[in-house]
Amino acid sequence: MIEATDPALYAYSGPPRLDEPHPSSERMRHLVGLYIRYMHPVHRFVDERHPDFWSRLDRPMEPKEALIVYAMCTIGALFLSKTAGTGHLDDLVYEFYRRAWAIKDQLPQDLLTIQTYLIMMPFFIVASQTEEGTKAQFLTLEIAKKINLAEQVQKLATQGRLSTTNKILRNTWRGVVWMEVLVHLTTLQTVKIDVGTSLLDVRVPFLSQNSASLH
């Protein structure tokens, strides 16, 4: 994974210009592939086996599709090797971060927003974007409360075999729980996180089984 040469290069400064060329499908396919290889086995928030997963990169994407794709590309670019053919990696990483954030700011805050924040966490750490990363952590917990994520996941315990969609929902909840743990561990002073019933207090034994499984 590359190291940020200058954190100031990654500070979000607004959406791309209208005349900027759209990223090529070949580049996005490569970067998404890197994300799937290095991050997806740990954080399974997307279904890479869906028939439309790769083909969407070859056509104009809806905002919700593009948001997740650009977030994955941002993280995938962190794993590029610095060779003569990769160009300036700071610019490449920032290009996709800027595109993802411009879309995020136009969409309602929901499960997709949570998944985007969870995918982007390595970027905030590597790029030393502490303020934006902290904001993302607390917004994730607030949105999880607003959409009753814990309650949604608790209902899965009464089901038998989970669909891929429900597995992604379960994995997203796990990511949020770990984020709450991280917030508690990294906050210098005791802070009451207002997410209603703490996600850490949700006890569903079924959800602790096969934690790495998506399919």
3-state helix/strand/coil string of 63-116: HHHHHHHHHHHHHHHCCCCCCCCCCCHHHHHHHHHHHHHHHHCCCCCCHHHHHH
Series of mean pLDDT values for 10-residue runs along the chain (215 residues): 60 68 91 92 87 92 94 92 52 89 93 96 87 90 93 85 91 90 64 44 40 45
Nearest to 100 by CA among 148, 132, 130: 132
How high is the pLDDT of residue 212?
A: 42
CA–CA dist 136, 142 (Å, integer): 10
Indicate the DSSP class of residue 214.
-
CA–CA dist 146, 195 (Å, integer): 8
CA–CA dist 105, 100 (Å, integer): 9
Nearest to 29 by CA among 69, 1, 89: 69
Cα dist from 121 to 50, 125, 140, whole Å:
24, 6, 11
* pTM for the predicted model, two decimal places: 0.80
Nearest to 11 by CA among 144, 131, 114: 131
Q: Which residues contact 145 (CB under 8 A, 6 or more apart)?
A: 194, 195, 196
Output the six-digit token pair for 204. 């569903």
Question: Residues in the chain, how many?
Answer: 215
Which secondary-structure segment (H or E) carries 103? helix 89-104
Output the six-digit token pair for 212. 């790495």
